[in-house]
Structure formats: C-alpha cells, structure tokens
Structure 1
Amino acid sequence: MYRLFFIFLFFFSIAFSQQKTPQNDFRSPLDIPIILSGTFGELRSNHFHSGIDIKTKQKEGFEVFAIGDGHVSRIKIQHWGFGKALYVTHTNGYTSVYAHLKKLAPKLEAYLKKQQYSKERYEIQLYPKADELVIKKGEVIAYSGNSGSSGGPHLHFEIRDAASKPMNPMLFGINVKDSHNPTVNGVFGYALSDSAQINSSNKIVQLQLKKGKEKNSFTATKVYASGEIGFGVNSYDRQDLAFNKNGIYQLESYVNGVKNFSYDFKKFSFGESRYINTLIDYPRFKKMKQRVQRCFVTPANKLSIYKDVVNDGKIQIEEGKEYTVVLKVKDFKNNTTTITIPVVGKKQKITQKKKETVTNHLITRNTEHSIKEGDVSIYIPKNTFYEDFYFDLSKDKKGRYKIHNDRVAAHKNFVITFDVSKYTEAERKKLFIASLNRKKKPSYSSTKKNGIKFTTSTKNLGTYFLAKDTIPPKVKPVNFAKNKWISSKKYLKIKVTDNLSAVRSYRGTINGKWILFEYDAKKGMLSYDFSDLIFTEAKHNLKLIVTDNVGNSTTFTSTFFRKN
C-alpha cells in the first residue's frame, strides 16, 4: 500500500513539473504598474534571487492582493530576511509568497497578533490549517512595506511549485515592459588546466571587444589558445521603466555553430541556491565586485539550471585548428546580445602563470580536516569547499587569527574553536568570538560557550578573534517623556542600540502586561501599537529590558499618561 502511494506521488510530481504554467489563473499582486528592481534568478550574495522585487514608488502601504483562490498556509515574522512574510497555497497547487510587508490585512493581522501575544514573541512562524484562513482571488491580504533585510520599500513576490521550488513569476503571465538588450561589461577567458593557455597566459584573461556588424553584437579580438579552455561573461539586464541593473534570464554558448552549454532561470531549488558560488568566478567577485558567469561547469557544481551541456561547456583547443565561439546573453523577453570569439589553436609559451601559495595544510574537497594554530583549532567537514587549495591559518601582531581569506567560498559550515583557559570565569562571561566585517570592525559571530572552549560555526573565512563587551545596550525614548500625557500618539517608539555584540533580546511590559514591540533591526527601533491592548487606567508604568549577546542588560522604566 505504502509502495503504491509513493509510486503515485512520484508520477504526480513528474506530471506536475512537466505541465505548462497557467497563464490566466493568477492576477497581479499589486494594482500599480509592474516595474522591477530585482529579477528571478538574479545573482545575489551566496544565493539566487527566488522571486521578483516589484517597485512601490518608494512608498509603503500599497494594497497587496491574493493572486488566486487558496488559503494562508504560512506566516513568518522575523527581524531580518523576509521581515513580515505571507504564504498562500492555491487551489491549483502553487504557492505565492509576499515579503517585506508593512502589515497584514485586518483578519490576518488579528490572527497573527493573537498568536504573538499568546507566545509573548515578535518573531514567530505559523502554519494555519487549510480551513482557518481561506483567501479569494483579488482579496487584500497585506500592505507593502520595507521590513526585514529590505533595502527600500518594495514587494518581494514569489511563486513556488508543489515541491516548494521557486519558479520564475514571469512564466505565469506577469508582464514587464522590456525592449532593452542585456548589457555586457566584459568577456573573460579561462585556461582550465596547468598546460592550457590563452594568449600566453593561464590566468583569467579579459578579451577586447568591438561592435559587430549586427545590432547588439560584439566581436572579440582573435584569441590564440591551446588545451582546455572556457569563457565567462559579466552582464546585466535593464527593463524599460527602471534604471536598476537586474539579472539576465539565459546564457548560451556555441562552438562552430553547435550548442555546448546553456542555462536559464525558469526554476531552481533552495537546496542548490548556494551553488551560485560555482557558477560565478567567486575569487574575482570578492576581489573586484564583478560577478562573472562561467560558461562551463566545475566538478563541485550541482545546479539544475543547465541544459545542452557538452563536456561541461569546456572547449578543447587543438593545434592548427580554428574555432568560432558564440555567446548569447538573453533576457526573459528574448532580447539578445551576441558575442563572437574567434579562437586559433596555437601552442605558446606561458609567460603569465597562476600563483599559488603553498602552506602546510592542503585542503582536499572530499576529506575532513582538523587544523590547529596557537589557541585556535579549525574543523572542516568533507565537501565544505568546492575546490582543493592550500589553507592558511596564522596569527597577526594584534592576536587575531587570519583564517585563510574571504576569496574562497564555503558551501557548508566549518567550526572555529578558541581555547579560553587563560581567562578567568568572570572574564569569559564578557568575551565572544568576533570577525572583522567589511568596515574592518568587530562583528559578533554566534558563540557557544562550553567551559574553556568557545566555538562558532560559520561559512565565512576571514579574520577571527576574541572580543570583550562590558557595555550594556542603550535605550532612548523617541516620542514620549516621563510623566507626560501621550493620548494623541498611535505608537510608542523607543530606540535601542548596542556598541559591540548587538541586541539579542528585549521584553516590554505596561502595568505588568507583556506588550508586542515590533523591532525594526535596520533602524534599531521598537514600536508598540496602542490599539493592541485596552488599559482602563490613565497612568501607565512601562518597563523594557534589553539584553545583548554576552548578557549585558539594560532595564528602562518610565511612567506616562494616556487614555484609550
């Protein structure tokens, strides 16, 4: 019986994945023109963009509509990430996602706040039953906002299939005006073995381009090469009504008229998204902030977006032969920019060689490793990194540990352990593991303390050290003063900041009752909506406790007067 059930599920999932996406089932999530600030599959830090970002005229509060009949299947509220997010599962099997919201529609907001007050938590994840929050197509379900990690007001919108894989919303009939061809910033050649070379170099080589005879076409200057080589493109796309540099939709490669490589952004899974770091030239991105998209597949790459790939997209160049390599960069509307690369097979002496620093620690991709230096030890599980490389672990004059460098991408977490036996128990309470952030300032790295061992689990190489935080968070009232009347205020607002290890938790009460403070982590602002609770008395005693990541705590108290 169970076997028959799983066979049914298997064939159902295949049938669902192969069916054409409905073009008329869904409506737009907004009643304003669809102008994008982000496209599906766009290249982001360590992941592909899983939806489209719809501009909201730099404002919050636009009505967000259910794109089809269904029910609310998930509500997720968090300080960062999607912020306030709503998931609607539709009768046709797809799920739509609406994120960075300002607030939910009244009946959904009431459902959410009831749960938040019951659990006395702002950050929460709820999975309503199918008959609890039934939604009709065109019903207002939320209001657009800027919550979570959003960089400005917009609606992040997704459509996911029955297997929870994000799909390109444009496949469902969403129309965006786009008559622009993708822009190509650069084309690069890669020698893919020690003996291979391009123009006497086995380093990455940027090709010189000139405009071609056809519109939106370019031709590279002739390339002389030998051995196994590949190419990469740095490009972006731009729609008609926006200046944003968005991601491309499709990339293809042809050798002498035969396709040897392509990928497109119709669908991917969240489990594979971090493999973006094998699609792009990650070291170049970290060094020069350029995302070069490789037209070949490296051994650790497990992305499902590829098709028509021959020999992993790599090109074997033979002496005396000539090749015409054509790269086609496309957007969703099939606007295409073409690059033609003439290649002549010619063995040349390699005058520019890749440099590799050899250390005592060779990391092989499919093996686990343990490395120790001074007070620090590193545990690296197998398949943490995408390639083999020599690992550097050293200590600088300030006592900070340089754990290789950030130009190598990690796919899985590795563990850093500090021996803190030389510190007293009282000192350890205020210590934490820190890393240097982009601004070269200490940043809290989630620290587990077990006696004389402090550990942090991370995917980020870089500089790590022990830092001390003895200063409690600061709490400052924004729109009220002690012993004053504030009956005209809709919200109670308080600014909270921490100088080093960052705010970990907060708890607020009025007259002894827990209140829901919404936390805008970007601004460090706590806001309480006075309509949440009814207080019969006019005098109110506020108490707020804010704690940082090492346990430093500030208790703020105040009295104010207000009538409902």
Structure 2
Amino acid sequence: MKYFFLVFSILLLSNSRISAQKEYPKSDFISPLKIPLILAGNFGELRSNHYHAGIDIKTQQRQGLKVFSVADGYVSRIKISHYGYGKALYITHPNGYTTVYGHLKKFSKEIQKYVVQKQYEDESYEIELFPTLTELPVKQGDIVAYSGNTGSSGGPHLHFEFRDTETENIINPILFGMDVKDDSAPVFENIIAYTFNENGQINGKQGISQLNFSKQKDGSYLVNRIKASGEIAFGIKGFDRQKGSFNHNGIYATEILVNGTKYLDLKFDTFSFAESNQINVYIDYARYINTHQRFQKTYIDKGNHLSIYNTKTNDGKITIEPGKDYSITIILKDIAGNATKIYIPVHGEALPIKKTYPDTKTAYYIVADRDNYYEIDNASIFFPANTFYKNEYLDLKKKDKSLYVHNKEVPLHGTYGLTFDISNIKDSLNIDKYFIASYTAKGSPIYETTRLKGKTLSTRTKNLGRFEILKDNTPPSVRAVNFTNNQWISKYNYLVFKISDDLSGLHSYKATIDGKWILTEYEYKKNTLTFNCEDLTFTGTKHKLELVVTDNVGNSTTFTRTFFRKY
C-alpha cells in the first residue's frame, strides 16, 4: 500500500511538472522576417475585449518586407477581411503547430494568384479559403507574403502567432525560440486596493483605495504601510518593453507572495480563444471605461475561468486578521526573467469604517446563470443565461427617446436581445430606413445590426448604456480620387475612390467595368476603395466603370465614370 501511494505521488508530481513546464521546440523554426525582432506588441497583452494572441513585429515603419515561412508545411487557411487581421495566412507544420501571419500587404506570387482567382469566382474581396495539403505546400524560408497594414492595424507591422494545430490554443511565440532582445524589467506605474464586503476595510475605507508608494534604491517599490481587516486584494497598472522599442507592452507573469509564501501566480504562456473575452473580468473594467487605464486585478473575480493561473490561494483574496502583520510582495516578470518587486506592509487592525458600500439595489436583479426578460415602455430586453459574469442589480429606464440599459461599466460575457415596438412611427414608406443605435461615451451614435420584422426592430448586442431608434435617409458619399471622367489611364496602376456614410455606416460595395465584376479593396482607416488595373484585361479602349455603394439601411449611391485605356 505504501508503495502504491509512493508511485501514485511520483506520477502525480511528474504529470504536474510536465503540464507546468512543457517544452516547445526552439530549433525547428526560423524568424518570419530577416530583420531584428523588435516588438510593437507582445503575447497576452491587454487589448480591447481580448488578449493579444501573438507578437506584433515592427517592420521599420515600412510595408512590403518579405515574410518567410518559419518551417516546412502547407498553407492551410487564407482569410481576407476588412477588419481584424486583414490579409492573413495560416501555415500548418508537420510537428503539430500552425503559424499565423497577419496584416499582410499581399501574398507571394503563387498564393496571390490562387487567392485572386477565388475572389473573382466568388465576386468578393472578403474571403476565407482552406487549401488542401497539396495545393500550396511551402518549405522553410520560402517567401509566402509581404508585410503590410491591412485590417485593424494601427501601423505597418507583422502579426505573428503560434497555435497548437489540434486544439487551436494560442502559444507564446517566444517559447519557440524567437529571438527578441529584452534587458529591462517591467515598469510599475500604479497600485490600488480592494475590499469585498461590509467587514473589510483599508485605512478605514471600504471599496477601492488608491495606495501611495515610493521607488527604492534597488529599483523595487515600497507601498506606504496600510492598516486593514477582512478580505483585501490589489490592482496593478504597469507595462513591459523589449529592447529597441518604446511601446508599452503587456506583462508576462505576475506573482503574489504573502509572508514569503506564493499565494497567486500567472503566466501568459498559452490560452484558448474561448478565454480571450474574459479579459474584462481580469481587469478593473469599470475603471477602464471611466479612465481608459487598464488595472490588472491580483484576484480572480466571478466569471474568470482563465487557465493562465498556476497558484490561486483563495482566488488571490488575502484575509487580514486584527493584531497580525503581513508582508505582501507583488512581482512583475517578463519572459526573459527580468523582474520588478512591489512590497506592501500590512498591519491587521479593525479601524472604524468611514464609508460603507452604497445601496445599489434596483427593481431589476439579474441572476447570471438564468434567462432574464424585462419590458421597459416600448422595449423588451432578453438576457440569455450567462450574458453577465455574475449576478447584478440593473438600472433599466426609458427617458425621452432613449432607452438606458444599465451602464457601460459592467462587462458582458455574451450578447443579449433588444427589441423595440415601432408601431407609433407613422412613416410607413420609409420604415426600412430606421435602425437601432447605441451611443459611445462621447455621445456618437453607432449602428447596431438591426432586423425589421413587422412593427418591430430588433438587434443582438454586447453593448450596455444608451439606445435610440434613428432614421437614415442619406445615401453614401462616393468620389474618384485619382482620375476624372473621360480620362486616359493607360499608365495608371490603380484607381482609387473615397467612400463613406454619415450615419448608419457602409454595408456593401460592388464595382464593375463594362458590366463585369472587378476586385476592389476597401481600407476603412482611410475610407478608400482601390482597384488594381493589372488584375484584368479588356478589349477595346473605351470602358464604363460603375460603382454601387450601399449603407446599412439600404440607401444606395451609383457612381459611373467613363475612361480610356490600352491593354
């Protein structure tokens, strides 16, 4: 029996070590670019509504750098979209990993020919393709694309990822030996503290407290001694940067020690896409909405099921007992091992509480794991189970023409349904021009994908806050940028247009020459639409171009031009 438990314990320990210390192949892959790897963004970095799934490699403020396949394999997926990764390439390798290359300007000649042919077959710029094992094979070092700035990119760079081919989990590319120089520790900027119930207090205050601190000679930080009781935890603001970059990138690892014992630790080595939207319960979301500052919580809030945690004693909440002293240390680490330490001395003392938690009770109480349905004036709201991360009292009200669905400080885990009865609108001839709009913090309306059915407008949204029914009668604006009507354009490589819409936003565009569909590329950051004149050849010299642009409620503009060109 003793032998059985000994063997069982050894196996259990061995398996836990294997899980915690998985080794990734560091010599199987080369760099995707032949320049020093300087990062504009790193793995796990905190972004809007998601964690960054790869590394963003600076391309010297240029587009068109050669992008290489990091190992043998085949192109298994190609996705082209106006937003997100823009032009993206996925290469599956025989050793169980897939690499992703995003925001590309264009693909290599063979891949580009394959893609354009499919786009013309589908008559669509946005396309998703899944080539077979034998259609587009690549060797390590082959040029597969050229770097760019497509999709939701804020400047020229290459977005680069590693994924487990079987599970599709995302893995930190640095673990595969990508050579990114890093000789400086993470930068600590700010710290706040939290209490969690009516018995908890910090320096006599409940809720959130700003803590004061000072930098020490050894580079560490010392927080002014606090007096507390009950359960407390902290929020940290900071960033990391790699050598040669001034970008504020994400912090790779965080550890919390209480009296020298590890209490909580996490690392951004790998996670699944399904976990990414939990970023809004990982950060102090309300603070982010109000200040645009992302504070990382050092405790695990309800709804946070992230797999990045290795140790999580009491979910990171520290119980402070009166009469006891605590030495709390927060360590911020980068993947190269550089570290910054924050020391927090705490004395347990039950001080009189100056401020209690405010009464937030309303008539509307959400039970997170159940369906919830409400009617407010002419609107109905349906929250499916698990729309919210945790139970909430909601503020729902109608004021003038606006419906207020709680507030933007609360993060949502999923979408919910919102329906308006519009039978009071007498403008029956233009009823299809009405839509549901939400509003930004600055008061600008945003089109919510709206469905008209009978006398109702409905949408599914992940936004909270203010909503209204708006009407859009104005068609999109279209103009040619680099040519005029009846012009010879034989020497032109591209035709460029400006397209935009003032309210409901652009829905679609379609361009033809002499009645034949042509491939045009929309760049939403500049509101430009571009046609590559080399894509097609035409008979004759006189040609008619027609461009139809439609907004989200069906208003349409038809733009025509005649041009002359010799092929």
TM-score normalised by the shorter chain: which range applies?
A: over 0.9
1:203 counterpart residue number:
207
Distance 1:106 1:538, change over 3 A: same
Which of 147, 153, 173 in structure 1 is aligned with 2:177?
173
Q: Secondary structure at the match of 1:446?
A: coil
1:308 counterpart residue number:
311
Does the Cα contact within 8 Å between 1:61 and 1:102 map onto a contact in 2?
A: yes
Q: 1:364 Cα deviation (Å)?
A: 2.1
Percent identity over the alignment?
Answer: 48
**What amino acid does structure 2 have at the position aligned with 1:198?**
I
Q: 1:402 Cα deviation (Å)?
A: 1.6
Matched residues in 2 for 1:212 and 1:483: separation? Answer: 72
Q: Secondary structure at the match of 1:96?
A: strand
Q: 1:451 Cα deviation (Å)?
A: 1.0
Choose 80-89 or 310-319, whichever is displaced more: 310-319
Matched residues in 1 for 2:369 and 2:352: separation? Answer: 34
Does the Cα contact within 8 Å between 1:216 and 1:336 map onto a contact in 2?
A: no
1:109 counterpart residue number:
112
Q: 1:329 Cα deviation (Å)?
A: 0.4
2:55 counterpart residue number:
52
Q: Secondary structure at the match of 2:335?
A: coil
Does the Cα contact within 8 Å between 2:438 and 2:463 map onto a contact in 1?
A: no
Which of 486, 494, 500 in structure 2 is aligned with 1:483?
486
Does the Cα contact within 8 Å between 1:420 and 1:428 map onto a contact in 2?
A: no
**What amino acid does structure 1 have at the position aligned with 2:403?**
Y
Matched residues in 1 for 2:128 and 2:560: separation? Answer: 30
Report runs of 4+ in structure 1 exceeding 4 Å deviation.
14-19
**What amino acid does structure 2 have at the position aligned with 1:167?**
I
2:405 counterpart residue number:
403
Matched residues in 1 for 2:233 and 2:18: separation? Answer: 36
Q: Secondary structure at the match of 1:427?
A: helix
**What amino acid does structure 1 have at the position aligned with 2:198?**
D
Which runs of 5 or more residues in structure 1 are unaligned?
Answer: 1-13
Distance 1:322 1:446, change over 3 A: same
Are 1:422 and 2:424 counterparts? yes
Q: 1:110 Cα deviation (Å)?
A: 0.4
**What amino acid does structure 2 have at the position aligned with 1:414?**
Y
Q: Secondary structure at the match of 2:312?
A: coil
1:7 counterpart residue number:
none
Are 1:349 and 2:352 counterparts? yes
Deviations 1:138-182 (A, max 9, x none): 111011111111111111110111211111000011122221111
**What amino acid does structure 1 have at the position aligned with 2:50?**
H
2:545 counterpart residue number:
542
Matched residues in 1 for 2:428 and 2:279: separation? Answer: 43
Choose 497-506 or 17-26, whichever is displaced more: 17-26
Q: 1:438 Cα deviation (Å)?
A: 4.2
Which of 25, 28, 34 in structure 2 is aligned with 1:22?
25
1:511 counterpart residue number:
514
**What amino acid does structure 2 have at the position aligned with 1:57?**
Q
Q: 1:437 Cα deviation (Å)?
A: 2.3
2:368 counterpart residue number:
365
Choose 378-387 or 150-159, whichever is displaced more: 378-387
1:192 counterpart residue number:
196
Q: 1:388 Cα deviation (Å)?
A: 2.1
Does the Cα contact within 8 Å between 1:383 and 1:412 map onto a contact in 2?
A: yes
How many residues in Structure 1 have an aligned counterpart in Structure 2? 549
Q: 1:18 Cα deviation (Å)?
A: 7.2
Aligned ranges for residues 452-491 of structure 1 at < 5 Å?
452-491=455-494
1:436 counterpart residue number:
439
1:552 counterpart residue number:
555
Does the Cα contact within 8 Å between 2:38 and 2:58 map onto a contact in 1?
A: yes
RMSD in angstroms over aligned alpha carbons? 1.5
Distance 1:480 1:17, change over 3 A: farther
Matched residues in 1 for 2:524 and 2:20: separation? Answer: 39
Q: 1:459 Cα deviation (Å)?
A: 1.0
Q: Secondary structure at the match of 1:308?
A: strand
Which of 84, 87, 91 in structure 1 is aligned with 2:90?
87
Q: 1:19 Cα deviation (Å)?
A: 4.9
Matched residues in 2 for 1:475 and 1:356: separation? Answer: 53
Matched residues in 1 for 2:482 and 2:172: separation? Answer: 43
